[in-house]
Structure 1
Amino acid sequence: MITVSHVNKSFGDHQAVSDLNFTIEPGEVLGLIGQNGAGKTTTFRMILNFIDADSGEITWDGHPITQEQKQKIGFLPEERGLYQKESIESQVLYLAQLHGMNKEDAKAELTDWMNKLQVVGKKSDLVQTLSKGNAQKIQMILALIFKPKFIILDEPFSGLDPVNASIFMDVIKELKKQGAMIIFSSHNMDNVTEISDKLVMLKQGHTVLQGPLQEIRESFGRTRLFVEAPDFTAADFLDMEGVTKVEARGAGYLLYLTEEAAGHAIFDKVTANGYIPAFSQQPPTLGEIFRTEVATHA
């Protein structure tokens, strides 16, 4: 288990991280979110001991992270750093051997990973010939090829198209099943929602939301209601008690409610004549919560 306990970090008069606390268990994914400058990358750098915390503790199974354990940490930095004039194979094999792999195993793993991530190109290709997306896949391979037990991914989906982002998400889900501890940052709240078990949201270094993802969403109440009811118009829904806003969504409408309980009366009205195609009452999306919290703690 990774434990971050009462960690603080300042740069001059700027408090980058303030009293940060969280844990990551094996087989668990923690999403670390916040605006630019919120303290996410600083947190990753303290975990990796690239910079020292001013106070607090960062431990692995209750002990400070050793050099041997650092060899078991996979890190994908936000600032991608590949040697442009080196081949894919030469730099991947070099880093894999630094992490204790033998050359032949690393060669076999590289082939498997290139297939898994659908890299377009050959192992002998120079990095400078790769597209941005394929170069990012090679960076991901560098972070994962040696089977790390703890994985830190700083904006892993940045710049990826939806298909390649989905490939990355599938890989993260598989690593979770294998028992890896994973922490990642992303500005895409849909990606965070899909793969995170727990969430920490930072605002100017301070924790403003923390806990299991679904519990956080539920704490805001089920105030979003999607309805497909052919006999009802947007105006009909706006006239209903507890509805503050109506948006057309495909064949139905998304209703914004003042409180969760308003959904009961709406359900009775729209089903009075029997079956309707859809009625789904949900908490606000993580994106909505993120925007609300940023504004609230401004």
Structure 2
Amino acid sequence: MPQAGLEIDNVSKRYGDVVALSDMTFEVRPGELFGFVGSNGAGKTTTMRIALGVLAADSGEVRWAGEPITLSTRRRFGYMPEERGLYPKMKVLDQLVYLARLHGLSVNEAHRSAEDWIARLGLKARREDEVQKLSLGNQQRVQLAAALIHDPSVLVLDEPFSGLDPVAVDVMSQVLKEKTAAGIPVVFSSHQLDLVQRLCDRVGIVDKGRMVACGTVDELRAGAPADLIVHAPQAPPGWAAGIPGVSVVSEEDGRTVLRAGDDVDDQAVLKAALATGPVHEFSRRRPALTELFRNVVTEEGVR
């Protein structure tokens, strides 16, 4: 299959009076790692299930390589659900071979692929264990192996880092980077926004079934107000309250975080800080994705 992108085009879904998705639109480009973030119930899982054909959309379309998804092309997708989609009493190796066979691999291909992923994901010592006897983290590794077992052309992963220890997070991160380096579009949802910020090429923020912000982390941060970090140990509380265009976010132990617009003169703020005594730190910082997400969702909620 040629390298191709995944398109979610104006997809809507209702459950009675509840709007699960409203004109959801975004694209995951070939070789792109796309982070899909939102609060619980925002519509992330519904979007993924529609992309996989598990749910039917009320309107809109999902396309891969510019064409509507069919049963044949859907077999080329790798899906990792948030809830465990494994047979608890089945052994790890047997389960992966079985799932690979369902995707059309021969017996030999299925065994080879299963053994490769078992080794790669650190499961060799547990290959003959029943899934229900594994820790939640190891179950998550098996779930990832199940999504990768058939060498998919698209990866859709719902909370893949949930329950993983730091070593497993590093392994999974490396696997996802390798897949995107091979031209595969990868979309994953996560509440671990530090990971999303570190790994993803672009991020989509979802709220109440709508895409409310989408772009690279730098693009999203560039549109947000910057904070000024001032460490002035001798500054009295409220020293910055009268500076035009500046609001105090926090003050603690001489360290003040100020919210300042782009038109605020940094030097005027520095001059005010120096008037209180020595300044040990003075820097401008754009908000991290965690704070940006909180701000975007809060702003949407009050509209």
| TM-score range for the pair, normalised by the shorter chain length | 0.7 to 0.9
The structure 2 residue matched to 1:149, chosen from 147, 153, 162, is 153
Deviations 1:259-289 (A, max 9, x none): 2455732578999xxxx99765331111112
Match of 1:288 in 2: 291
Whether the 8 Å CA contact 1:117–1:137 is kept in 2: the answer is: yes
Q: Is 1:259 the equivalent of 2:281?
A: no
Match of 1:185 in 2: 189
The structure 1 residue matched to 2:216, chosen from 212, 215, 219, is 212
Match of 1:3 in 2: 7
User: 1:198 deviation in Å?
Assistant: 1.8
User: 1:217 deviation in Å?
Assistant: 1.2
User: 1:293 deviation in Å?
Assistant: 2.1
User: 1:157 deviation in Å?
Assistant: 1.3
Match of 2:51 in 1: 47
- Aligned amino acid, residue 286 of structure 1: L
CA distance in 1, matches of 2:255, 2:110: 52
> Normalising by structure 2, what TM-score?
0.85
User: 1:147 deviation in Å?
Assistant: 1.4
Whether the 8 Å CA contact 1:113–1:141 is kept in 2: the answer is: yes
CA distance in 1, matches of 2:104, 2:114: 15
Local SS of the residue matching 2:138? helix
User: Unpaired runs of 5+ in structure 2?
Assistant: none
Whether the 8 Å CA contact 1:33–1:201 is kept in 2: the answer is: yes
CA RMSD of aligned residues (A): 2.7
User: 1:16 deviation in Å?
Assistant: 0.6
User: 1:184 deviation in Å?
Assistant: 1.0
Q: 1:291 to 1:142 in 2, by over 3 A?
A: same
Query: What count of residue pairs does the alignment treat as equivalent?
Result: 289
Q: 1:263 to 1:80 in 2, by over 3 A?
A: farther
Local SS of the residue matching 1:36? coil
Match of 2:227 in 1: 224
Q: 1:234 to 1:101 in 2, by over 3 A?
A: farther
CA distance in 2, matches of 1:115, 1:270: 57
Match of 1:239 in 2: 239
Q: 1:118 to 1:281 in 2, by over 3 A?
A: farther
Whether the 8 Å CA contact 2:228–2:260 is kept in 1: the answer is: no
Local SS of the residue matching 1:59? strand
Identical residues among aligned pairs (%)? 37
CA distance in 2, matches of 1:172, 1:234: 48
Whether the 8 Å CA contact 1:87–1:126 is kept in 2: the answer is: yes
User: Unpaired runs of 5+ in structure 1?
Assistant: none
Deviations 1:198-253 (A, max 9, x none): 222221112221223321111103x13456x7xx327279635436235669xx95
CA distance in 2, matches of 1:203, 1:197: 20
- Aligned amino acid, residue 161 of structure 1: D
**Which runs of at least 4 in structure 1 moved beyond 4 Å after TM superposition?**
246-249, 266-271, 276-280
Match of 1:112 in 2: 116
The structure 2 residue matched to 1:38, chosen from 37, 42, 58, is 42
